[in-house]
Amino acid sequence: MLLGPAQLVGLGGALGAVCRHAVASRVPAGEYPLGTLVVNVLGSFLLALVTVAGADRATLLFVGTGACGAFTTFSSFTVETVRLWEEGARLPAAGYAAGSLAGGLAGVGTAYGVAAVLGLG
């Protein structure tokens, strides 16, 4: 292996973080934290796909732990949910919390479906 685990995870993490930042700055910042929802669903799909596809260790470290791990975020999600809730938007806050989970699970399910169709894993 040319790069060690720390380099693979770190470079993947840098890439994932920059992509997240790019998505966040392109999604219109309205009342609803749509940017975080998009990255979390998309990243969950990608992580599940490389995992079920049986990628090698280096790919899993770079794409999975590094890029997908950093592209998706839990802390922004919790901060945004608390903010929505305290602004009085309790239904949107609950919807955001449940929708992130449902979207993430749907992403994982879709990845399993895609992997089965493509004959991966």
Partner 1 sequence: MGERPLVRAEAAALVAVGGFAGANLRFLAGQAVAGLGGTLAVNALGSFLLGFLVYEAELAGVLSRRARLVLATGFLSSFTTYSTFVLDAASAAPAVAVAYVAASYGLGFAGVLAGRAVAARVQPTGGGGSAAAAEGGDR
Give yes or no for residue 35 binding partner 1 (CB under 8 A).
no
| Residues near partner 1 (CB under 8 A), total | 49
Give yes or no for residue 78 binding partner 1 (CB under 8 A).
yes
Per the CB < 8 A criterion, the answer to whether 41 and 107 are in contact is: yes
In the 8-state DSSP scheme, what is residue 52? Answer: H
Give yes or no for residue 94 binding partner 1 (CB under 8 A).
no
Give yes or no for residue 51 binding partner 1 (CB under 8 A).
yes
Per the CB < 8 A criterion, the answer to whether 120 and 52 are in contact is: yes
The answer for 118, left when phi > 0, alpha when psi is -120 to 50, beta otherwise, is alpha
Per the CB < 8 A criterion, the answer to whether 44 and 108 are in contact is: yes
Sign of the torsion formed by the C-alpha atoms of 109, 112, 113 and 114: positive
- For partner 1, the closer of residues 1 and 74 by Cβ is 74
Q: How far is the CB of 36 from partner 1 (least distance, A)?
A: 8
Q: How far is the CB of 50 from partner 1 (least distance, A)?
A: 10
CA separation for the pair 74, 89 (Å, rounded): 20
Binding site for partner 1 (CB under 8 A): 5-6, 9-18, 20-22, 24-25, 40, 43-44, 46-48, 51, 61, 65-66, 68-79, 81-82, 97, 100-101, 104-105, 107-109
